[in-house]
């Protein structure tokens, strides 16, 4: 008995949850699709206009699961023909059908919510993925630009290194040329001193030669004077 009471409370709680989340408040729409159309039945029952009446299933709280017939054009100028096909259900069967109806509607609603959430999640995932893809492409382009800039700077650095090496070689060559020129200037200075000494010596010899020449001329002139007299 205790177990039955506890089970009843559990089912009652479940029923309240289904009724809260389901569409049972005044909604008598079918929770499941019909297995056959409203006119796919036999034997034929005619409405007051002599047309085949349509057969539906009631899902209202009072007549859950009962089939009924009504004019197929009741909402379009037809007659007021209405007739029940099934007898009333017992209270147990009625409550069972109500619980099943509300459970199906609850799970259909929950499934719809879950499908919509999944759809929204997929759309959000797609949006994030597309954003990440665009960001990745932007970063890839930025990386390529940075790589090209690094290559350009590397070439400029290599050119600057070669330039400095060339200027260093030129500086070494210039220092060597300066040393050579200084050595040549030193040699030139020494040669100049030697030339000046040589010129001084030649100048003295020239003076001696001129003196000797004058003496010789005087002696010759003196030796010729008696002959001239």
pLDDT value, residue 11: 40
Residue-averaged pLDDT of the chain? 83
pTM above 0.85, yes or no: no
Query: Does residue 110 fall inside a structural domain?
Result: yes
Q: 3-class SS at 61?
A: coil
CA-based nearest residue to 67, from 45, 96, 99, 51: 45
* CA–CA distance, 195 with 177 (Å, rounded to integer): 26
Query: Does residue 137 fall inside a structural domain?
Result: no
Query: Does residue 204 fall inside a structural domain?
Result: no
Q: Has residue 12 got a pLDDT over 70?
A: no
> Does the CA dihedral 74-80-81-87 come out positive or negative?
positive
Query: Does residue 182 fall inside a structural domain?
Result: no
Number of domains observed in the structure of the chain: 1
Query: Does residue 77 fall inside a structural domain?
Result: yes
Arithmetic mean of pLDDT, 178-200? 86
Which domain covers residue 86, as residue numbers?
A: 2-130
Query: Does residue 186 fall inside a structural domain?
Result: no
CA-based nearest residue to 30, from 57, 67, 62: 57
Q: Has residue 229 got a pLDDT over 80?
A: no
Query: Does residue 49 fall inside a structural domain?
Result: yes
Query: Does residue 24 fall inside a structural domain?
Result: yes
* CA–CA distance, 198 with 206 (Å, rounded to integer): 12
**Banded pLDDT at 19 (limits 50, 70, 90):** very low
pLDDT tens digits, one per residue of 68-123: 999 999 888 889 999 999 999 999 999 998 899 999 989 989 998 999 999 999 99
CA-based nearest residue to 121, from 105, 113, 137, 21: 113
């Amino acid at each position: 008995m205790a177990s039955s009471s506890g089970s009843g409370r559990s089912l009652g709680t479940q029923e309240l949850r289904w009724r809260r989340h389901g569409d049972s408040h005044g909604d008598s729409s079918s929770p499941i699709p019909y297995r056959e159309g409203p006119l796919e039945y036999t034997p034929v029952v005619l409405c007051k206009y002599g047309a085949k009446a349509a057969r539906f299933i009631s899902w209202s709280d009072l007549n859950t699961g009962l089939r009924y017939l009504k004019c197929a054009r009741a909402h379009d100028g037809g007659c007021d023909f209405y007739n029940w096909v099934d007898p009333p259900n017992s209270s147990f069967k009625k409550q069972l059908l109500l619980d099943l109806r509300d459970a199906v509607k609850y799970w259909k609603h929950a499934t719809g919510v879950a499908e919509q959430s999944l759809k929204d999640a997929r759309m959000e995932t797609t949006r994030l993925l597309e954003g990440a893809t665009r960001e990745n492409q932007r970063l890839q382009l930025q990386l390529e630009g940075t790589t090209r800039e690094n290559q350009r700077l590397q070439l400029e650095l290599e050119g600057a290194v070669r330039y400095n090496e060339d200027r260093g070689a030129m500086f070494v060559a210039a220092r060597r040329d300066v040393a050579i020129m200084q050595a040549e200037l030193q040699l030139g200075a020494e040669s100049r001193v030697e030339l000046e000494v040589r010129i001084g010596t030649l100048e003295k010899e020239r003076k001696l030669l001129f003196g000797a020449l004058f003496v010789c001329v005087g002696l010759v002139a003196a030796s010729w004077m008696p002959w001239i007299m």
